[in-house]
Chains A and B, each alone.
Chain A
Amino acid sequence: MMLIECPHCGPRDENEFRYGGQAGVAYPERPAELGDEEWAAYVFMRDNPKGWFHERWFHTSGCRTWFTVHRHTVTHEIRP
């Protein structure tokens, strides 16, 4: 089990959190102008790197804060 540093509650067990996938996926600025391919890219396409990954976590069983974690997808190491 990973120990994840919640910015509000401090280090807590992984099973207190819910996973939110890739960080920094912004809602399109002009959604009305998007074509099908751009919508597909926004809705479905995500980075899936073997290595360092910026990702969202949600402290479900704690303060219920969403925050970003920098984690390695092979070693599971987390760095600030």
Chain B
Amino acid sequence: MTPHPDTLWRTPRPRRSYDVVIVGGGGHGLATAYYLARNHGITNVAVIEKGWLAGGNMARNTTIIRSNYLWDESAAIYEHSLKLWEGLGDELDYDLQFSQRGVLNLAHNLHDVREGRRRVNANRLNGVDAEWLEPDEVAKFCPIVNTTASARYPVMGATLQRRGGIAKHDHVAWALARKADQYGVDLIQDTEVTGFEITGGRAVAVKTTRGTIAAGKIALAAAGHTSVLASMAGIRLPLQSHPLQALVSELLEPVLDCVVMSNAVHVYVSQAHKGELVMGAGIDAYNSYGQRGAFHVIEAQMAAALELFPIFSRVRVLRTWAGIVDVSPDASPIIGRTPVENLFINAGWGTGGFKATPGSGWVYAHTIAHGEPHPLAEPFALERFTTGALIDEHGAAAVAH
């Protein structure tokens, strides 16, 4: 292994103009910059980040990767992403600790069973690997799940995507940032976008805390703050920003070698390579930009986790936190053009954007480069809220995303 260098990217001063300015230096923004350069040869690009690279939701998610979504449009884009994950570490020459350890989605009632079986069939028809496990098979696959008949939340089966798993979020961000930087992309941190210059219905520059930067095209990749940015351009969006909390336990010996999710009891768990249990829950109900949530949500989440995993009863919580997620009405992302020419949007990934990082960057880069949506992105255009062609993923995605 080569020694880790002191810095993986430059810290450039913003130039006066770029072909493309990406607003938001998280996973999706970095992936977009990377694929703009790699797939489209567009390297005169800046990524403007108000804080530090990948310090928002990229640093706060539970790193679950899967593609077992119900609808064709979702399966297509998330499966594209999963396929990219499968080669991303080699391509970026960085150990992403991508581990396809299998993702279980537990069923606790008859509705869950029907939904799960239906989703397995839908996944297979879309070329996404999926299996239905009976309770005894769940017990074999993940012995520490409480599958006794007397459990408060009886396990009546589960879907399993073996190709699903987790990755190390920081490594993903650093690897993408390093490659983008090598292509000549300027990664500009500590610089907040404060407005846009729009002339004749066309976005021509971003105003920032370090001056105005002219841009051929402007691409939003700001997750929970997308509504705030869009309103600076006079655009109203069907997004609501909520806190999404997660937590880690103290470090444990290896005890859980797969990802376990349960929509019905609002918890999802995996064990990171380092040893801590990583758990997430549902969103806090109210709109917030506060990057913190209420403790009763954590308490409910822990109660559910203990019912599912009695073995965790003595485990101590080390740290809890929240990110701000932008939730759309159909729990699907919004990717594409906006009413303002040359201003593009990639938002609404809600509680599940991490898994989409490479796929999102791929289709967004294409959309920006061509000014036309990538075929996989087309169904996710903002117009769907007017046409009514929603992609309702609440069943497969609403809580445990």
Contacts and interface: CB of A to CB of B under 8 A. Distances in A.
Query: Do A and B assemble together?
Result: yes
Interface of A: 1-2, 13-15, 18-19, 21, 36-37, 39-41, 43-50, 53, 55, 71, 73-76
Given A1-B294, A44-B385, A76 B240 contact: no
A1 B295 contact: yes
A55 to B, nearest CB: 7
Interface stretch (B21-29, B162-170, B284-292): B284-292
Interface of B: 225, 227-228, 231, 236-241, 285-290, 294-296, 329, 385-388
Nearest to A1: B294
Contact of B288 (A1, A46, A47, A76): A76
Contact of B386 (A2, A36, A71, A74): A36
A73 B289 contact: yes
B287 A53 contact: yes
A15 B285 CA distance: 10
B241 A48 contact: yes
Secondary structure of the B contact surface, majority rule: loop
A55 B288 contact: no
Contact of B385 (A1, A40, A74): A40
Contacts of A49: 227-228, 231
B94 to A, nearest CB: 34
11 contacts: A1-B295, A15-B296, A19-B286, A44-B329, A45-B385, A50-B228, A73-B288, A73-B290, A74-B289, A76-B288, A76-B290
A37 B285 CA distance: 27
A45 B236 contact: yes
B386 A37 contact: yes
Contact of B286 (A44, A50, A55): A55
B387 A36 contact: yes
Most chain B CB neighbours (cut-off 10 Å) among A2, A37, A39, A73: A73
Contacts of B296: 1, 13-15
In the complex, the 3 A-B pairs of residues with the closest C-beta atoms, listed nearest first: A48-B227, A44-B238, A19-B285
B250 to A, nearest CB: 25
A9 to B, nearest CB: 18
Given A48-B239, A50-B241, 14 more contacts: A13-B296, A14-B296, A15-B294, A40-B385, A40-B386, A44-B329, A47-B236, A55-B286, A71-B286, A73-B286, A73-B288, A73-B290, A74-B290, A76-B290
